């Protein structure tokens, strides 16, 4: 039988405050009197925190003496500690007893990495914007068909975000398209395009974290580990975590990397690759006409974040996915289509006193049917476009027959 040892000065324990949100403080030690770093502390089903490197933690709880904290860490027996054992205005010492079996180093490393990431997510909740804001943004979309660029579209816009509704799974941004330009369309695959601008917003895991690596409620389904190998951007300021998600009921396998600023636990960005899950029985989605299947192959997403004041905002988002378009009857792949999307964001303007966008702000782009008048001067002065130029390969390919600039002017008529 295992025993739980709680060392506290029982004679000096004060009763928990009669109000909700009572702050309790504790330090977690092993029986060897060594701090247990990054232990996971859960209260009820909705509140959690992670101990720091010295085993210290703080947590706000209700005043119900019958409630308990659940404290867990790899290699130790999971504790359930009643709140009545914690003193108010005093840090309580908690002793964890080791498991009887030996845990290998890899498992220990993975557990600490997961707890470290939970601590990052806990800090992130304090960094999310609390005031609505607007920001300039550049949206860009480039399509490849069988290795050749066949469609290009670009939009300059102002985006309005309702910060109070972070964590929503429904599109919250509204945007005013101020300028639009596009190339000739050379596609042959018959794809009926949707509003990919809207899709792009929903790829922002900072704004829409539900069910992703940035959702603390699903972290148990991810394998997370420290990974210092092949990090070209880390230097002395960043550390890298790697993660993987694999589920036979999910059509995609996910592998990703997260970059975190050392010390501050602020998030720099993440990169995620998705591939087809061979264990998942996929049903092809038919395109217009019903003669083809759209078969997902792989995708890659890159997110970068910026901090203004003490709040975090999206800096850039790049997303690309490859799919095969396969004939329904004989299974031959007729087209390999890669769609590249990117969004670059400038500094936000906060609207703490409220901001009501006019009718020019919408949640639909109509990028394929929208009439527009091309203004070359706008693009020459639009800093996001100037600072993030199109790759030469894209410009040269589209300009092989008609200069891209002439295509812009013609399509703007």
Which residues sit opposite 225 in a β-bridge? Answer: 242
Classify strands 22-30 and 56-61 as parallel, antiparallel or unpaired: antiparallel
Vertex 225: Cα angle to 223 and 227 (nearest 5): 140
186, 335 in Cβ contact below 8 A?
Answer: no
Does residue 116 form part of some domain?
Answer: no
Shared domain check, 137 and 92: no
Q: Per the structure block, which two tokens stand in for 155?
A: 């939009």
366, 198 in Cβ contact below 8 A?
Answer: no
Other beta carbons less than 10 A from residue 44's beta carbon: 13
Whose CA is closest to 303, among 221, 235, 237, 208?
A: 208
Shared domain check, 175 and 29: no
Higher-confidence residue: 85 or 239? 239
> Band of the pLDDT at 288, cuts 50, 70, 90?
very low
Give pLDDT, residue 65: 67
Q: Which of 84, 103, 122 is the last residue of a domain?
A: 103
* Cα 407–chain centre separation: 36
Which residues sit opposite 285 in a β-bridge? Answer: 294
Average pLDDT over residues 289-309: 85
Task: State whether residue 79 is helix, strand or coil.
Answer: strand
Residue 45 lies in domain: 5-103
Separation CA 10–CA 109 (nearest Å): 36
Shared domain check, 370 and 286: yes
> Band of the pLDDT at 14, cuts 50, 70, 90?
very low
Shared domain check, 175 and 299: yes
Unique residue bearing structure tokens 């054992």: 85
Give pLDDT, residue 56: 92
Does residue 111 form part of some domain?
Answer: no
Give pLDDT, residue 317: 98
Q: Per the structure block, which two tokens stand in for 159?
A: 């985006």
Separation CA 108–CA 244 (nearest Å): 17
Q: Which of 52, 86, 103 is the last residue of a domain?
A: 103
| Length, in residues, of the chain | 413
Task: State whether residue 177 is helix, strand or coil.
Answer: strand
Q: Per the structure block, which two tokens stand in for 258?
A: 């997260």
> CB-based contacts of 189: which residues, under 8 Å, 6+ apart?
145, 287, 292, 325, 334, 335, 337
Give pLDDT, residue 109: 64
State the SS3 of 109-135: HHHHHHHHHHHHHHHHHHHCCCCEEEE
Separation CA 231–CA 234 (nearest Å): 6
Shared domain check, 194 and 95: no
Q: Per the structure block, which two tokens stand in for 86?
A: 């914690």
Shared domain check, 338 and 229: yes
Other beta carbons less than 10 A from residue 354's beta carbon: 7
Residue 398 has phi, psi (to 5 degrees) of: -70, -25
Shared domain check, 136 and 94: no
The total of structural domains in the chain comes to 2
Poorest-pLDDT segment among 168-172, 201-205, 317-321, 336-340 = 168-172
> Band of the pLDDT at 281, cuts 50, 70, 90?
low
Is it the case that residue 291 has pLDDT exceeding 70? no
For the segment 141-166, what is each residue's pLDDT rounded down to a tens digit? Answer: 999 999 999 999 999 999 999 887 77
Give pLDDT, residue 391: 92
What's the CATH code of the domain at 40?
2.60.40.1120
Task: State whether residue 230 is helix, strand or coil.
Answer: coil
Shared domain check, 210 and 339: yes
Q: Which of 47, 82, 103 is the last residue of a domain?
A: 103
Does residue 27 form part of some domain?
Answer: yes
Shared domain check, 316 and 273: yes
Q: Which helix (H) or strand (E) holds 373?
A: none
Shared domain check, 54 and 150: no
Does residue 257 form part of some domain?
Answer: yes
Helices (H), 92-189: 105-127
Shared domain check, 256 and 211: yes
Does residue 126 form part of some domain?
Answer: no
Separation CA 129–CA 131 (nearest Å): 6
Does residue 352 form part of some domain?
Answer: yes
Does residue 115 form part of some domain?
Answer: no
Shared domain check, 149 and 51: no
Does residue 108 form part of some domain?
Answer: no
Task: Please give the mean pLDDT across all residues of the chain.
Answer: 84
């Amino acid at each position: 039988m295992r025993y739980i040892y709680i060392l506290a000065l029982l004679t000096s324990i004060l009763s928990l405050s009669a109000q909700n949100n009572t702050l309790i403080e504790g330090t977690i030690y092993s029986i060897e009197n060594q701090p247990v770093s990054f232990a996971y502390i859960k209260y009820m089903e909705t509140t959690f925190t992670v101990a720091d490197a010295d085993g210290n933690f703080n947590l706000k709880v209700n005043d119900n003496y019958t409630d308990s904290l659940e404290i867990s860490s790899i290699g130790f027996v999971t504790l359930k500690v009643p709140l009545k054992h914690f003193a108010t205005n005093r840090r309580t010492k908690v002793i964890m007893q080791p498991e009887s079996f030996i845990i290998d180093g890899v498992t220990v490393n993975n557990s600490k990495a997961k707890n470290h990431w939970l601590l990052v997510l806990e800090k992130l909740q304090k960094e999310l914007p609390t005031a609505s804001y607007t920001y300039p943004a550049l949206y860009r979309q480039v399509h490849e068909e069988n290795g050749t660029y066949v469609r290009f579209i670009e939009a300059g816009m102002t985006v309005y975000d309702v910060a109070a509704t972070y964590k929503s799974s429904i599109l919250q941004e509204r945007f005013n398209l101020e300028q639009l330009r596009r190339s000739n369309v050379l596609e042959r695959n018959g794809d009926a395009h949707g509003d990919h601008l809207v899709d792009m917003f929903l790829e922002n895991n900072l704004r829409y974290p539900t069910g992703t690596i940035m959702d603390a409620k699903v972290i148990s389904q991810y394998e997370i580990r420290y990974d210092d190998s092949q990090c070209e951007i880390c230097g002395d300021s960043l550390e890298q975590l790697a993660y993987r998600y694999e589920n036979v009921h999910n059509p995609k396998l996910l592998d990703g990397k997260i970059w975190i600023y050392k010390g501050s636990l602020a998030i720099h960005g993440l990169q995620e690759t998705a591939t087809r899950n061979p264990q998942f029985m996929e049903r092809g989605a038919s395109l217009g006409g019903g003669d083809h299947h759209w078969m997902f192959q792989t995708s890659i997403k890159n997110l970068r974040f910026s901090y203004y004041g003490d709040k975090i905002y999206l800096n850039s988002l790049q997303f690309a996915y490859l799919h095969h378009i396969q004939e329904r009857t004989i299974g031959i792949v007729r087209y390999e289509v890669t769609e590249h999307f990117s969004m670059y964001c400038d500094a936000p303007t906060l609207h703490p006193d409220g901001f009501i966008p006019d009718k020019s702000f919408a949640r639909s782009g109509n990028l394929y049917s929208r009439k527009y008048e091309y203004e070359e001067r706008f693009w020459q002065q639009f800093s996001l476009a100037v600072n993030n130029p199109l790759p030469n390969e894209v410009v040269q390919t589209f300009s092989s027959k008609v200069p891209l600039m002439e295509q812009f002017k013609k399509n703007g008529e």
